Structure formats: C-alpha cells, structure tokens
Amino acid sequence: MNDLKKMLLDGAGELGIALDNTAADKLLVYKDFLKEYNQKVNLTSIVDDEGIIVKHFLDSLTLLGEIGVAGSTSIIDIGTGAGFPGLVIKIAREDVSLTLVDSTMKKVRFLEEAAKLLSLKNVSCIHARAEELIRQKPEYREGFDYVTARAVTRLPKLSKYCLPYVKLGGEFIAMKGRNYTEELEEARRIVKNLGGEVWDIKEITLPNSDIVHSLIKIRKII
C-alpha cells in the first residue's frame, strides 16, 4: 500500500470512521484530478498531497459519523467549492443522494467532471447562489435530510442560507474552526426564527495535525 493511502486509512481509523478500500482508491484519484485541474483553474490553495488528505479529505470525513445510515439519505452541500465536504462524503457513502451547490461556474464544471471520472451516481452539481436557489426550486425547500457547509460564511448568514433546505427532523451541520462561540451566539436568534435548534457541537482534532475543527449541529424542529 502506498504511503498516502495508508495516511488516509490510518487517519480515518483514528477518527473512528470506516473507510473501505474502494473509497480510499477513489479519493486518491480525486486528489490527483484536483491537483491536475488546479494547475489550469484555481480551485483550492491546498495543493500538496498531505494537505489534501488531512485538510480536505479527513476533515470532510469527520461528518460521516453524523450522517444516518438509513437508505435514501439526501444531502445538499452549500458553497461546496471543489467538493468539500459533499463529494468526499459521497465517495465514502455511495448510497447517499447528493446535491452540490456553488456560485462559481468553474467549480461546478470541475465537480461535474470529477463525479463522472469517479463514476458516482445521484450527484447533481448546481451553479447558483444558495439564497436564490431556494426560490427557484420550491421542491428544495425542506427537501434534504442534511445540509452541510464548510468555510462559506459566518454562521448567522450561513444559517439563513442553509436552514430553509432542511427537512423537519433533519439537520444543518456547519463545519467551523476552533473559535465559533461568538458567531454561534450571534446566530442563535436567527436559528430559532427559522425553526432550528442548536443541539450538539463536536470538537475534533484532525489526524497528523494540531488543527481543531468543530461541527455545529442544528436540527430543524419546527
């Protein structure tokens, strides 16, 4: 096994995540494709192998334990960029039906090509702004089990963008850094007004690093 695959599998193990061999291989194909594409089109500033594996892949995979195992789970990833965390989750859980949204066309093109290269089914890549898409597609309103977002905007605004997509009983999971307290306090009223409730926060240290990330879990209760 090569070193990078080992880093990925060991890292997943450390996070308590089951990653199978096929998924690990696909992630490495995704990594190479991302690096190659990034030479022509700027998608990410993290371009080294270890950086992609730890800061993009393992970080995205921390969500896996939070996603229910029931069949026909739907996820929409808002402001996904080059596919984080959405496409990584899909590679590890191919049964999930995934919608990726980004307001930058070149990123959406990349996502379409990556999904094709990796033979992933049930992936829609949408070029739109989240706040406009919800008006254009009424079926998306309260249409998803999980809404995810990493590094898009601060939590008050992000909650306004994301919560309308969450099914009753579903969850919006925001991926944040170590310092989320202030924006979380600012977001509480908005979350409540949109029928949500902050019900769990997890802090996770990424393998091979001292990077601490947090998952802010907001459930749609009304």
Q: Is residue 152 a contact point for ligand SAH (CB under 6 A)?
A: yes
CB of 92 to ligand SAH, least distance (A): 17
Query: Which residue, 2 or 101, is less far from ligand SAH as judged by CB?
Result: 101
Report the C-alpha gap between 6 and 203 in whole angstroms: 24
Report the C-alpha gap between 75 and 166 in whole angstroms: 9
- Per DSSP, 58 falls in state I
Report the C-alpha gap between 144 and 97 in whole angstroms: 10
Which of 9, 19, 88, 101 lies at the binding interface for ligand SAH (CB under 6 A)? 101
Report the C-alpha gap between 122 and 115 in whole angstroms: 9
Amino acid at 133: L
CB of 71 to ligand SAH, least distance (A): 26
CB of 126 to ligand SAH, least distance (A): 9
Token pair of 174 as six digits: 């925001």
Which of 93, 129, 154, 167 lies at the binding interface for ligand SAH (CB under 6 A)? 129
* Footprint (CB under 6 A) of ligand SAH, residues 51-90: 78-81, 84
Q: Is residue 110 a contact point for ligand SAH (CB under 6 A)?
A: no
Which of 150, 176, 213, 219 lies at the binding interface for ligand SAH (CB under 6 A)? 150
CB of 183 to ligand SAH, least distance (A): 16
Q: Is residue 151 a contact point for ligand SAH (CB under 6 A)?
A: yes
Cβ 45 vs Cβ 62: under 8 Å: no
- Angle, CA 212 vertex, CA 208 and CA 218 arms, to 5°: 130
Q: How many CB atoms lie within 10 A of CB 147?
A: 30
Size of the site for ligand SAH (CB under 6 A): 17
Which of 28, 54, 111, 130 lies at the binding interface for ligand SAH (CB under 6 A)? 130
Residue with tokens 């450390």: 14
- By beta carbon distance, the residue nearest ligand SAH is 81
Query: What number of residues does the chain have?
Result: 222
Token pair of 34 as six digits: 């991302």
Which string of DSSP letters, residue by residue, matches 12-39? HHHTT----HHHHHHHHHHHHHHHHHHT
Query: Which residue, 20 or 113, is less far from ligand SAH as judged by CB?
Result: 113
- CB under 6 A: which stretch of 64-72, 103-111, 135-143, 205-213 binds ligand SAH? 103-111
CB of 23 to ligand SAH, least distance (A): 19
Residues that bind ligand SAH (CB under 6 A): 78-81, 84, 101-104, 107, 129-131, 150-152, 161
